[in-house]
């Protein structure tokens, strides 16, 4: 009869084990379409306009762009910022912290061994009789959890992915900091060039005021012209003071990036360069692997998926082995006196039975975390494509505007000089002079600002295309036959 029962139980036990093993297969919450995105062969801007990409091996990265600028001062500032910037130091500490977590999670591959020593003294009273008992114990305990379902391996995988996230975030922080240094340097140069323009205009207005006052004393013009010119001088001096504040703030912002005290002592003695991009922008399918921030997002998605596997396997039995050996005595110095040691070996299986749906809810929550992280990853990817499409389009728009304003400035400056000459001769009134001065000033200001916008857009575009490595800056200096055109000029 017993034989019959065993024969009936064996298939049931085997089936239960097969179901449990099948249930422990690692689940995934990542949609396959997220791994294989449907992307165009080239950026749409180049498909829908007459502008064509330069077909050359040099990819437009921040390294390439910095090499084309060939500015030793910028290179030195970037190296200084990498060494001293406090936000970057935080990233380094986060990376080191993630590396320590690798050690913590990897410890589950090994048994845990601990030594315990205890000494106790107690007094017992029985029927008004008291006795003093001494007890000393020493034990060596070993415990080890068997990774039957792969739960511990998934935890290790999650830690490894978190370390990769920290690495990618650090690399992206390096790229962001380098781009901020370049942008801050030319932002300071723009502010100083505008300051010089405002100072020159203020001086010109003062000279005009003296001529108009002299003519007024001779009775050649009206008092209104003197008041209007004086108003222009005062307004320009106020603008000059405001622009001086802009220079100070730009200097302090750059010093903060360098890790220096914000004394506003830093100044940029360079003119804004004109850089014509002709490097290869790559294809959309290559972008994800080059962008450190997108890599970090992808690793984050994989880490969340590993967390889902852990949450799933937390619902299954845990098997642990414990072993202990030791000795006890009434005196501490009698321990391990050569007598036989006590020992024990215990196997333990722990299976959650009832927890009011907590573990199931935790698994569902982990699945939702994967879905949320997946959508954040996809949103960042397509935002990156949008940034590049906008960047290359904006570059062409800014170039076109710059050409028009350059021509407008030439005409406006000539008109300003002619209008003032004609005013002194009594041909036109002072309103014409004011209008011509306003147009000349606006055109000159716009040219400086447009050149700065071109530089800022090129930095942002190069950063968006990824692939930055600060150690390669000095290795990517342009060759004599380089297609990129870099010119250092005045505000033009």
Q: Is 371 within a domain?
A: yes
How many domains is the chain built from?
A: 1
Single pTM value for the model: 0.80
Query: Is 168 among the domain residues?
Result: yes
pLDDT at 334: 64
In angstroms, the CA 319 to CA 265 distance is 66
Q: Is the pLDDT of residue 52 over 80?
A: no
CB burial class (10 A; 0-12, 13-18, 19+) of residue 1?
exposed
pLDDT number for residue 406: 87
Full domain range(s) for residue 290: 27-110+150-315+367-488
Q: Is residue 435 part of a domain?
A: yes
> Residues 153-206: pLDDT tens digits?
999 999 999 999 999 999 999 999 999 999 999 999 999 999 999 998 899 888
Q: Is residue 127 part of a domain?
A: no
Residue 128, in any domain of the structure: no
Residue 84 has pLDDT above 80, yes or no: yes
Q: How far is CA 398 from the centre of its chain?
A: 27
Identify the pLDDT of residue 479. Answer: 33
What are the Cα distances from residue 73, in Å, to 69, 80, 263, 402, 452? 11, 11, 19, 27, 18
Q: For a pLDDT cut of 70, what percent of the chain falls above it?
A: 83
How would residue 276 be classed by pLDDT, with cut points 50, 70 and 90?
Answer: low
Q: Single out the residue of 364, 350, 311 nearest to residue 158, CA to CA.
A: 311
Residue 351, in any domain of the structure: no
12-21, 64-73, 74-83, 376-385: segment of lowest average pLDDT = 12-21
Euclidean distance between CA atoms 286 and 281, whole angstroms: 10
Predicted local distance difference test score (pLDDT) of residue 371: 94
- Is 71 within a domain? yes
Give the 3-state DSSP-derived string for 395-448, with helices as H, strands as E and coil as C. HHHHHHHHHHHHHHHHHHHHHHHHHHHHHHCCCCCHHHHHHHHHHHHHHHHHHH
Mean pLDDT across 232-239: 91
Range 413-420 average pLDDT: 88
Residues 294-313: pLDDT tens digits? 999 999 999 999 999 999 99
**Region of poorest pLDDT, from 206-215, 254-263, 318-327, 476-485:** 476-485
**From CA 392, how far away is CA 46, in angstroms rounded?**
9
Mean predicted confidence (pLDDT) in 445-467 = 88
3-state secondary structure of 394: helix
Instruction: Give the rounded percent of residues in the chain with a pLDDT score beyond 90.
Output: 36
Whether pLDDT at 361 is above 60: yes
CB contact at 8 A, 62 and 162 = no
pLDDT, averaged across the chain:
82
Nearest-angstrom CA–CA distance, 444 and 194: 9
Q: State both tokens at 389.
A: 């499409």
SS3 call for 3: helix
Supply the CATH number for residue 404's domain: 1.20.1600.10
Angle between helices 223-258 and 151-217 (to 10 degrees): 160
The rounded distance, in Å, linking the Cα atoms of 385 and 279 is: 18
319 three-state secondary structure:
strand
What is the pLDDT, as a whole number, of residue 58? 58
Residue 233 inside a domain? The answer is yes
Average pLDDT over residues 222-237: 88
DSSP code at position 220: S
């Amino acid at each position: 009869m017993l034989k019959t029962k065993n024969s009936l139980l064996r298939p049931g036990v085997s089936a239960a084990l097969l179901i449990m093993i099948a249930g422990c297969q690692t689940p995934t919450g990542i949609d396959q379409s997220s791994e294989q995105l449907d992307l165009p062969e080239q950026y749409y801007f180049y498909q829908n306009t007459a502008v064509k990409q330069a077909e050359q091996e040099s990819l437009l990265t921040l390294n390439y762009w910095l090499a084309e600028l060939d500015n030793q001062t910028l290179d030195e500032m970037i190296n200084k910022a990498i060494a001293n910037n406090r936000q970057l130091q935080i990233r380094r500490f986060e990376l080191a912290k993630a590396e320590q977590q690798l050690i913590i999670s990897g410890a589950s591959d090994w048994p845990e061994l601990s030594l315990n020593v205890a000494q106790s003294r107690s007094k017992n009273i029985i029927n008004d009789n008291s006795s003093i008992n001494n007890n000393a114990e020493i034990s060596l305990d070993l415990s080890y959890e068997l990774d039957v379902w792969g739960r511990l391996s998934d935890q290790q995988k999650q830690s490894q992915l978190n370390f990769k996230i920290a690495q990618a975030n650090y690399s992206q922080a390096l790229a962001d900091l380098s781009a901020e240094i370049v942008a801050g340097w030319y932002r300071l140069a723009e502010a100083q060039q505008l300051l010089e323009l405002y100072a020159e205009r203020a001086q010109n207005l003062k000279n005009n005021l003296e001529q108009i006052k002299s003519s007024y004393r001779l009775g050649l013009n009206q008092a209104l012209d003197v008041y209007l010119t004086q108003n222009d001088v005062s307004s320009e001096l106020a603008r000059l003071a405001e622009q001086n504040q802009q220079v100070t703030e730009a200097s302090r912002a750059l010093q903060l990036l360098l890790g220096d005290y914000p004394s506003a002592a830093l100044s940029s003695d360079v003119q804004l360069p004109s850089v014509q991009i002709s490097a290869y922008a790559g294809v959309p399918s290559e972008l994800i692997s080059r962008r450190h921030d997108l890599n970090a997002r992808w690793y984050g998605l994989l880490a969340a998926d590993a967390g889902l596997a852990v949450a799933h396997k937390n619902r299954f039995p845990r098997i642990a082995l414990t072993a202990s050996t030791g000795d006890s005595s009434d005196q501490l110095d009698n321990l391990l006196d050569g007598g036989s040691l006590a020992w024990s070996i215990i196997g333990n299986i722990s299976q959650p039975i009832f927890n009011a749906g907590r573990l199931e809810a935790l698994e569902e929550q982990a699945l939702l975390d994967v879905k949320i992280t997946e959508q954040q990853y996809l949103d960042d990817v397509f935002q990156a494509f949008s940034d590049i499409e906008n960047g290359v389009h904006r570059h062409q728009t800014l170039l076109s505007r710059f050409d028009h304003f350059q021509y407008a400035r030439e005409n406006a400056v000539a008109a300003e000089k002619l209008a003032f000459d004609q005013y002194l001769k009594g041909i036109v009134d002072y309103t014409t002079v004011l209008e011509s001065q306003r147009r000349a000033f606006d055109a000159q200001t716009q040219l400086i600002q447009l050149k700065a916008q071109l530089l800022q857009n090129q930095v942002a575009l190069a950063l968006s295309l990824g692939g930055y490595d600060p150690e390669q800056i000095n290795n990517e200096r342009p060759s004599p036959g380089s297609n990129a055109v870099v010119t250092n000029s005045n505000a033009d």
